[in-house]
Every structure is written in structure tokens, then in C-alpha cells.
Amino acid sequence: MVNLQTSWEVRTLSQRASEALAGGQLGLTTGYLFAGLAGLAVFLAAMALVLVYAERKIAAHFQCRLGPMRVGWHGILQSVADSLKLLLKEDIVPTDADRFLHVLAPFMSLLAAILVLVMLPMSPALQVADVNIGVLYVTAVSGLGALGILLGGWSSNNKWSLLGAMRAGAQIISYEVSATLSLLVVVLFSGTLQLSKIVQSQADGWWIWRAPGVGLLAFAIYLIASVAEINRTPFDISEGESELTAGFHTEYSGMRFAFFFLAEFINMFVVSALAATLFLGGWMPFHIGGLATFNAAMDLIPPGAWFAAKSAFLIFVIMWFRWTFPRLRIDQLMRLEWKILLPIGFVNLFLAAMAVLFGFYFFPVQ
């Protein structure tokens, strides 16, 4: 064990599947394909249940309440009961609504979330697929979510829905620019778009502090922009229950409402996991370049646990935001993006390029 960093070999599910295909084991190949899909479906449902419960509990404890306590031990089965109830509720399509688009919208919302999940590197052995244009793919695909919201809001033929959808559309596309610019900083540092390689490039230190200041600023911009992209408080003007009833999903009930809700929580996980992957080293343990004993001790904790811990922490931070910051008005929101975050993002990108050019960061890349 001379060099720890080289021991992180990534084997994705699609690699295993193509190896099985090359070896002529058709049964094994289809097995891998189905395992990937079943895993994703179970992960999706479990993650949504856990996150809804976590959100309610955390919200409660921030307000010195107990939250759900009745169903199961400390209300642990509350979200299961809620989803069963939603399943039994009537599904209403309002008169004059565009029926086709109204039904299509939840599909689009969830599709965007699932398509990103496929690429997430959760640990060296736990990643479904890994394309060489990872970051670009993720930014492109997550844009589909906005489409789901716009379709849902417009097709409902409800004034609240329309207002919420338009606000969400303007907000998501605006903040997308800042998020993309801050992701560019990481791409500059690591010189690759492939998500697993970006994680591997952080073996000596995570990008957030490896380049002094630049990484931290990019992380902060990404966090703000992505919280805005998933319509969470303080940027939840598209739902703003005190002014728009429920925003774009006012006219949704029963299962189709549940899928919008699900997509929202999965998006929260996806955003946190991406921030953890790109800036906080993903599944990479906490390493300090040169301290072999310390690094070896850190390697004892499995990579999957590192990934889960980092994502969970960021999810907690996003939930924390909700009880700390008041909601912004739409004009404030647009000013924050176009007049503050965007110029800072450009300057930061330039500084990052300078840092790479002159090797001005800790533990230089080989």
C-alpha cells in the first residue's frame, strides 16, 4: 500500500453488464439490467419516504414541537400512512384543463429526477451508469424538471397554477446559469466531465478547499442556485402557499400530486448528492495529502458511508434554510441572480482558471 489514491477502482453496474454481455452470459446481463432498475425504483420510493419523514421531524424540532408521533415508533410509519392515503384519494382533472398535458406533467417531473439518479456515483461499486459527459448530462437532464412544472401549471387552467408555473420557470432558468458556471469551476480543476473521475481526482483533498477561496465560493453559489432550482424556501415563490394557494400543483390531487411531491424530494437529494460529489469528494474519504497514517485510518470507513453522510448533511442544511430565511419576492430573486450571483460567478470562473494555470492550489494534480 504505497499509493492509496490509485486503489479506488470504479466498477459501475453498466460495466459489469457489458462484461457479462461480452462473455456471452445473456442471463447475467439481463439480471444486471433488472437489478439496476429495481434498485432505482426501491431507492426512489424509500428515499422519498425517509425524506418526507425527516423534513417533518426536523421542521418540528426547529419549532420546539415533536412532529409526527402516533403512527409507529416516533411516527416513523407516518409517511407510509400518508402515501397510502394519497393512493386512495380521488384523482381530479379540472374542467377546461388540457387533459393530456395535465397527466403528462408528473411524468416529466419524475423523469428528470430519475435520469440524474442513474449517473450518481454512490460508491466505487455502487453506480449504475457512468458516461464521459457526466456533468453536462446532469445539467441538461435536470432542466427537464422545469418543463414538468411549466406543463403542470399551464395545463391546469387555473390562475394560481399559471402564476406559480411562470414564476418557477423564470426562476429555474435564471439560476441554472449560475449553477452551470459554478460546476464549470470543478470541471476546470479536474479536467474531466465524468462524475466518477471527478470523485477520483479529489483523493488528495476536496475541491471545496483545495483551491483557496475559489472552490468555496463556487460551492456557495452552487448551493444557493440549486436550492432556487428545486424551489425550496427561501426561493419557493412558485408554491408560496400564503399567496398562490399551492402554486403550480393547486389542481393536482391524489397520486399525481404525490408524484410531484416525490419528484421534489428526490430533487433535493439529487442536488445535495451532486454538491457532495463535485465539491465534497463524493464517496472519497477525508484525506490530507501526505499524511499516510491519517488517510489510512480514514479509509476504514467505507466509501458509501462517506457519500451518504455528506449528502445527508447537505439535505439537512437545505431543510435548515427553510426555518432560517424568509421568502424572497420575485424582483429580489431576479436581482440576486442576474446582478449579484452571475457577475460573481464570472469573476470566480476567471480566478479558477488563473489558479489552474499557475498551479495555485494545495496538493497539485499529477
Partner 1 sequence: MDYIFVLLSIVLAVLFVGGGLLVSRLVAPHHPGALKNAPYECGEKVFGSAHVQFNVGYYLFGLLFLVFDVEAAFLYPWAVVFREVGIAGLIEAGIFILVLVVGLVYAWRKGALEWV
C-alpha distances in Å from residue 272, one per residue of 94, 277, 307:
35, 9, 10
Let me know: does 17 contact 33? Beta carbons within 8 Å: yes
Q: Which of residues 179-208 bind partner 1 (CB under 8 A)?
A: 180-181, 184, 187-188, 191-193
Whole-angstrom Cα distance, residue 120 to residue 177?
21
Angle of CA points 184, 113, 76, to nearest 5°: 120
* CB of 229 or CB of 299, closer to partner 1: 229
Let me know: does 120 contact 270? Beta carbons within 8 Å: yes
Please report whether residue 210 would count as binding partner 1 according to CB under 8 A: no
Q: Closest Cα partner for 278 from 140, 176, 182, 172?
A: 182
Stretch that binds partner 1, among 207-215, 243-251, 278-286, 293-301 (CB under 8 A): 243-251
Smallest separation, CB 77 to partner 1 (Å): 19
**CB-CB neighbours of 16 under 10 Å:** 17
Whole-angstrom Cα distance, residue 137 to residue 135?
5
Smallest separation, CB 115 to partner 1 (Å): 6
- Which set of grid coordinates corresponds to residue 61? 424540532
Q: Which of residues 313-342 bind partner 1 (CB under 8 A)?
A: 330-331, 334-335, 338-339, 342
* CB of 149 or CB of 319, closer to partner 1: 149
Q: Which of 8, 107, 286, 321 binds partner 1 (CB under 8 A)?
A: 107
Q: Which of 88, 242, 293, 366 binds partner 1 (CB under 8 A)?
A: 88
* CB of 200 or CB of 295, closer to partner 1: 200
Element (H, E) at 164: helix 159-190
Please report whether residue 122 would count as binding partner 1 according to CB under 8 A: no
Q: Which of residues 124-163 bind partner 1 (CB under 8 A)?
A: 128-131, 135-136, 154, 156-162
* CB of 183 or CB of 318, closer to partner 1: 183
Q: Which of residues 260-319 bind partner 1 (CB under 8 A)?
A: none
Q: 270: phi > 0 → left, psi -120 to 50 → alpha, else beta; which?
A: alpha
Whole-angstrom Cα distance, residue 228 to residue 171?
7
* CB of 69 or CB of 98, closer to partner 1: 98
Please report whether residue 355 would count as binding partner 1 according to CB under 8 A: no
Stretch that binds partner 1, among 220-228, 304-312, 316-324, 349-357 (CB under 8 A): 349-357
Q: Which of residues 28-87 bind partner 1 (CB under 8 A)?
A: 33, 36-37, 40-41, 44, 87
Cβ within 8 Å of residue 87, ≥6 positions away: 254, 255, 258
* CB of 97 or CB of 319, closer to partner 1: 97
Smallest separation, CB 231 to partner 1 (Å): 15
- Which set of grid coordinates corresponds to residue 19? 462484461
Smallest separation, CB 263 to partner 1 (Å): 9
